[in-house]
Amino acid sequence: MNTSVTNFHDLPPEAIPSDIAKLSYESHLEDANALEVELSDHPSILDSGENPKLFTIDVEHNLLQFVNVEAKNHCAAIHLFRSYSNSSPVWGAEKLFDELYKVWVQEHHSKDTVAGRFLGLLSSSDTNVFGLGQEAIKGKDSHRVYVVFSCLGSSFLFMRELPLQGLLEFLEAQYNLEHRDQSVPVFYNELSDFLSEKLPVAQQLAELIRRDLSEAKVRLYVSCMEAFTKAGELPKAINCALEDVKSDKNISKRAAMLILGQLIRHWEVVPELRKEIQTLIINTCDHSEDEIKRTSLNLLSRAASTQHELIPELVKRAVENNQNALHALKDFVCMNGKVIAELSDLSNVLEPLIFLTAENVDLLDYSLSRLIKAEKHCEAVEDWLTQWAIRNCASLDSEDRLSRSFQQSITELYTQERLFKLLTDWALADEKGLGVAFADVISELWVRGIKNPVFHKLTIDSLNQDDFRYLARRMLGWICHEEALLSLTFSLLDTDNALNRSFRWVHELLTNDIGKNYPRATLQEIENRLTTSTGDEDKLLRSAHTKLSKYIDALDKLPRLNELRPPEMLQRHITFKKNKQQREGQEAAQKHSLLTQLCTHIPLKNGNGWFSIRDGKIGEIGRLSTHSFHGTLPVGAVMDPVNDTITRLGYRTAKRGDE
């Protein structure tokens, strides 16, 4: 409520000397909260009379002292009002709000403002301030609309009467603008506060709106009902909403849902109303009109956060062909972290969300990562990610990549040491989508510098020979990074009875598939392992090392096809010429650009960094780090790309048990 604000309506403007009004205005532009003004440069003011309600004059110290900020703002508003009244020609709407902007930047976070008091004085002089606002926002950018709304919103406290028709016309004009959301919530909140103290005006405005309700007036109608509630008239607001639900007009039904949504915390504590309104919301969720259905589902989602008996109703409607319900369920999960963390059947709540596409899961990713971090429902989250991958991960070229859509969840799974078990399960699964997700996440880890993934030991311990063969094929078909392939291969040695279960597969991979595609990297990794290996593992690695060394020696002895290469000097000249042509072309294209003329070229290493410019000087340059990546192509992809592609495709489509 705003009853603490003093309007000074009983003080005539003539009671404030023009010099004092001007000084208060100038002081406000410098410091909105300063209550004392030095009068050494204004000796004539020392003889002015005092106004105990607004200001006093300390002759001894040459100070003009305002009683409080409200008094100072009122004096500054009087100065603005006189400037407007005496201007020739009279300020137009654009000029008026340009002047208000000067004071608004000093006070836009305050409740008591010079801009609001000035518009209140203007309204009292029979000027249509909302008409001026309507004219000021025509064709203007969103920032101007924000300023106009803020100034008008702060003026409600200081209006003797609210011009209802002007308000309606202003809001209709604003609704048709592209930037409809600027400052609107604050404006309507201030309006509902004002109307809560003037219930007859709120009643009159509500009746005026109901006679011709439109989309532009819906939010205003909701504000009227909020005003009734703030004034202790909840039954009146609820009755209006229940009457509107029964209306034949869809716009009235939607307005009723919005009203009930704004008043949730009031009606949910009344048992009779709670049950009645819950039934009403559930029934309206199946309405044939999409806009009403969407509004009702959003209300159901909000109500379910405190009325948990509504959660099954929300889940029941979230099916593949009901995107409105899916988004409502997603909003419920994202906005109620504590609630979902305590649900015993979270899997049932999450299950329908697999039908969300990649561009709609960003906020959901954060919520899932919080659950993983809290070590609650980790298995349910992993199961959901698996089902989402099966449905949405079509190919590695698709934009619907799991690593992009669930970066935070992947990070938390890795931190909690649960990721590699999940990846192992995906690698052993038959679904193509899980193969794509397996490759995608391994690639994302590689980019992040995590190049040593491993298969989960407990899972590997349970595999038979057919499983090992299938796992090796899936790995070769989907993974292309040499570090990851080698790390995964060597992790197969970390299993029970490895000699009889996994040695043959590791030896085959090191000497044939991986070894022949990445021979030198494989040989180097084997040599690194030999420094710590013992027993049977040492024999295995030495056997693979010997066989791979012979293969590399044979490759080195093959003749080089130098006749297919141009002479080195010619290659160098061609490269230099191409670089020069490209550089000259870029400089010519940018020669006349405004940016080139205004800015100085600063040569920097390609990477991420920062620096500051102050007083015309460039400050110390911060850390720079390159963001380029390089990898090794498999030999097969270079020497025989067609056959290599066919082989990989065969591995990807292989079935368990195939020879």
The per-residue pLDDT for range 210-257, each reduced to its tens digit, is: 888 988 889 999 999 999 999 999 999 999 999 998 888 899 999 999
Residue 138 tokens read as 């025509």
Residue 265, in any domain of the structure: yes
Which residues, other chains included, contact 107 with Cβ-Cβ below 8 Å and sequence gap of 6+?
28, 32, 73, 113, 114, 115
Residue 35, in any domain of the structure: no
Q: What is the pLDDT of residue 361?
A: 87
Q: Which residues of the chain have pLDDT under 50?
A: 1-3, 179, 604-605
* Domain end marker among 319, 340, 356: 356
Q: What is the pLDDT of residue 109?
A: 77
Q: What is the pLDDT of residue 298?
A: 94
Q: Are residues 335 and 484 in the same domain?
A: no
Residue 295, in any domain of the structure: yes
Which residues, other chains included, contact 637 with Cβ-Cβ below 8 Å and sequence gap of 6+?
517, 644, 645
Handedness of CA 475, 480, 484, 489 (dihedral sign): positive
Q: How far apart are CA 345 and CA 353, in angstroms?
A: 14
Q: What is the pLDDT of residue 580?
A: 84
Q: How far apart are CA 423 and CA 443, in angstroms?
A: 12
Q: Are residues 446 and 531 in the same domain?
A: yes
Q: How far apart are CA 349 and CA 305, in angstroms?
A: 13
Residue 386, in any domain of the structure: no
Largest Cα–Cα separation, the chain: 108
Q: Are residues 451 and 540 in the same domain?
A: yes
Which strands form 36-38's sheet, in the order they lie side by side?
Answer: 36-38, 63-66, 55-58
Q: Are residues 347 and 425 in the same domain?
A: no
375: left (phi over 0), alpha (psi -120 to 50) or beta: left
- What separation in angstroms does the CA of 500 have from each of 415, 473, 536? 33, 19, 11
Q: Are residues 645 and 528 in the same domain?
A: yes
Its domain, for residue 533, covers 419-560+638-653
Q: What is the pLDDT of residue 562?
A: 64
Q: Are residues 455 and 550 in the same domain?
A: yes
How many folded domains does the chain comprise? Answer: 2
The per-residue pLDDT for range 144-188, each reduced to its tens digit, is: 788 888 899 889 988 888 889 999 988 888 887 754 555 577 888
Q: Are residues 239 and 334 in the same domain?
A: yes
Residue 178, in any domain of the structure: no
Residue 422 tokens read as 């999940």
Q: Are residues 323 and 467 in the same domain?
A: no
Q: How far apart are CA 132 and CA 94, in angstroms?
A: 8
